């Protein structure tokens, strides 16, 4: 006997179709019908066979024909016995054919009935896959009798309602806190400026301390602005909808950071398609592109490189930003789009941003029906891919 390869069983298992609940229910209906029909057919044949046996015995007791003296009597099979045998044969043939046809019909009916009763579960599964933090307002609203499946759908709707209220409260809290903190920060900045503007020489340590406080206040201002932008993107608040050119946004972002690019000695490769238009909030989309360019500049290395490219692929527009830098573990790349996540140091400042840049990019992209994909490059650095629905018409204002 030849031995089966070790991986053959696994390959066979992979080729088999998935055993769904609908298929199992259909097979169960078929098996139950087949067994019950076989029992019924066996009982019918048994009763028929019993009647045939009784009839044949009666015929043998009365069916002997007298024979001449010296010869044995001749038994003649009566016509009733022959008729019973023929009827039994026809009954078996007809029953087997009918059983085969109805068994096939039972599989089809079982498949249809199971699909009808499992349709709400498929709706729940499809909705669950589509729902994210940006569309928690959607509900199943299952119709039908008040059974276990409808109870499951109502429970799922209640869960979505609680999640939506929780997310709304969190976003509103972040927005309100950011607005409220701006006032004391402005007061602190004004008090610092007044204290430093007093006549008379200012000691060097005091000047150093004042400069450091101003830098920290600027950092807090940028952090609060990022909070507001993130909250606005997550809530999908679009007040200035227009067709925005990603080419113009990326070119302007690179121009604004030309000083940092020159100071680090970065080489920049730009490739614009000229048709990369996306429709949405002009402010948010420009902020998204600026954050991508900022990330490519800040998390680079001295004498490194940056490559920015736009393209249109059917109904989508792409913005690709690649940069050199240190090698990034692929298992850590997925954490970069989460708030306050940095490589090597979590929730600690490295002087290279506040840890919200890529999380804002992802939120803005998702709010406009797009996506963000991050990929670590083998030679070091990061590849950022933003996919957005392309605008129907290339009209709209330019960013100021």
Q: Do the strands 305-313 and 267-271 form a parallel or antiparallel pair, or are they unpaired?
A: parallel
Report yes or no on whether pTM surpasses 0.85.
Answer: no
Closest CA to 391 of 294, 281, 287, 256: 281
Tokens of 182: 């701006």
Q: pLDDT per residue over 183-225, tens digit each?
A: 888 888 888 888 888 787 878 888 888 888 888 887 777 767 7
Q: What is the pLDDT of residues 325-353, one digit of tens each?
A: 888 887 778 778 776 555 544 434 445 55
Whether the CB-CB separation of 289 and 249 falls below 8 Å is answered with yes
Rg of the chain over Cα atoms, rounded to whole angstroms, equals: 40
More confident residue, 82 or 362: 362
Measured torsion, CA atoms of residues 387, 393, 394, 399, in degrees rounded to the nearest 10: -80
pLDDT in the model for residue 153: 82
Range of lowest pLDDT (49-53, 153-157, 308-312, 340-344)? 340-344
Residue spans of the domains in the chain: they are 148-233, 238-389
Closest of 274, 300, 277 to residue 289, by C-alpha: 277
Answer with the residue of higher pLDDT: 187 or 323. 323
The confidence score (pLDDT) of residue 110 equals: 78
DSSP string computed for 207-242: HHHHHHHHHHHHHHHHHHHHHHHHHHHHHT--SSEE
pLDDT of residue 347: 37
Give the pLDDT confidence score for residue 265 in this predicted structure: 93
Provide the pLDDT confidence category of residue 292 given band limits of 50, 70 and 90.
very high
Q: Is the dihedral of CA 51, 53, 59, 62 positive or negative?
A: negative
Model confidence band, residue 6 (pLDDT cutoffs 50, 70, 90): very low
Cα separation values, 163 from 130, 131, 167, 175, Å: 15, 11, 6, 18
Q: How many Å separate Cα 209 from the centre of its chain?
A: 50
Give the CB-side neighbour count of residue 309, counting CA atoms within 13 A.
Answer: 11
320 and 311 Cβ atoms separated by less than 8 Å: yes
Q: Tell me what pLDDT residue 400 has.
A: 36
Q: What six digits make up the tokens of 388?
A: 């957005």
Return d(Cα 387, Cα 371) in angstroms, integer: 5
Please tell me the distance from the alpha carbon of residue 31 to that of residue 290, in angstroms, as a whole number. 64
Task: State the pLDDT at residue 386.
Answer: 94
Predicted confidence (pLDDT) at residue 395 exceeds the cutoff of 70: no
CATH topology of 148-233 equal to that of 238-389? Answer: no
- Domain 148-233 listed as CATH 1.10.287.130: yes
Whole-angstrom distance, CA of residue 195 vs CA of residue 189: 10
Predicted local confidence at residue 230, as pLDDT = 66
Q: Running DSSP on this structure, what letter comes out for residue 326?
A: S
Tell me the helices (H) and strands (E) count for the chain, helix number first: 10, 9
Q: Given this structure, which CATH class describes domain 238-389?
A: alpha beta
Residue 111's CB is within 10 A of a number of other CB atoms, namely: 17
Mean pLDDT of the chain: 75
DSSP string, 56-111: HHHHHHH-EEP--TTSPPEE---HHHHHHHHHHHHHHHHHHHHHHHHHHHHHHHHH
- Judge whether residue 393 has pLDDT over 50: no
- Supply 265's token pair: 């000695």
| Token digits of residue 133 | 């933090």
Q: What is the pLDDT of residues 102-151, one digit of tens each?
A: 778 877 887 888 788 778 888 888 877 777 655 677 777 777 777 777 88
pLDDT at 39 over 90: no
Position 354 pLDDT exceeds 60? no
Which value, to the nearest 10 degrees, does the dihedral of the CA atoms of residues 352, 358, 361, 366 take? -170
């Amino acid at each position: 006997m030849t031995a089966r390869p070790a991986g053959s069983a696994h390959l066979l298992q992979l080729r088999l179709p998935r055993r769904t609940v609908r298929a199992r229910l259909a097979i169960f209906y078929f098996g139950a019908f087949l067994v019950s029909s076989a029992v019924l057919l066996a009982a019918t044949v048994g009763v028929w066979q019993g009647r045939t046996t009784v009839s044949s015995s009666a015929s043998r007791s009365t069916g002997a024909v007298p024979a001449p003296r010296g010869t044995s009597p001749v038994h003649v099979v009566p016509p009733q016995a022959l008729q019973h045998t023929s009827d039994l044969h026809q009954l078996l043939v007809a029953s087997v054919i009918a059983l085969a046809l109805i068994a096939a019909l039972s599989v089809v009916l079982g498949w249809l009935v199971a699909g009808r009763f499992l349709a709400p579960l498929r709706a729940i599964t499809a909705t669950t896959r589509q729902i994210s933090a940006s569309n928690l307002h959607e509900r199943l609203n299952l119709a039908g009798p008040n059974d276990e499946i409808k109870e499951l759908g109502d429970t799922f709707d209640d869960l979505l309602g609680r999640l939506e209220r929780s997310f709304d409260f969190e976003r509103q809290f972040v927005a309100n806190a950011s607005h409220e903190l701006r006032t004391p920060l402005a007061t602190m900045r004004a008090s610092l400026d007044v204290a430093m503007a007093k006549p008379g020489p200012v000691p060097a340590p005091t000047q150093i301390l004042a400069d450091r406080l101003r830098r920290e206040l600027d950092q807090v201002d940028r952090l609060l602005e990022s909070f507001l932008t993130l909250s606005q993107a997550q809530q999908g608040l679009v007040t200035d909808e227009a067709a925005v050119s990603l080419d113009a946004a990326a070119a302007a972002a690179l121009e604004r950071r030309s000083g940092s690019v020159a100071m680090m000695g970065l080489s920049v490769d730009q490739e614009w398609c000229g048709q990369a238009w996306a429709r949405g909030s002009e402010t948010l989309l420009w902020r998204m592109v600026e954050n991508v360019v900022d990330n490519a500049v800040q998390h680079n290395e001295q004498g490194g490189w940056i490559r920015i490219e736009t393209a249109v692929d059917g109904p989508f527009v792409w913005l690709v930003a690649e940069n050199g830098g240190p090698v990034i573990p692929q298992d850590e790349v997925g954490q970069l789009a989460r708030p306050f996540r940095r490589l090597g140091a979590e929730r600690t400042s490295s002087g290279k941003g506040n840890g919200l840049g890529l999380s804002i990019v992802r939120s803005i992209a998702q709010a406009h029906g797009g996506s963000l994909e991050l990929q670590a490059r083998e030679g070091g650095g990061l590849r950022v891919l933003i996919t957005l629905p392309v605008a129907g018409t290339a009209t709209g204002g330019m960013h100021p």
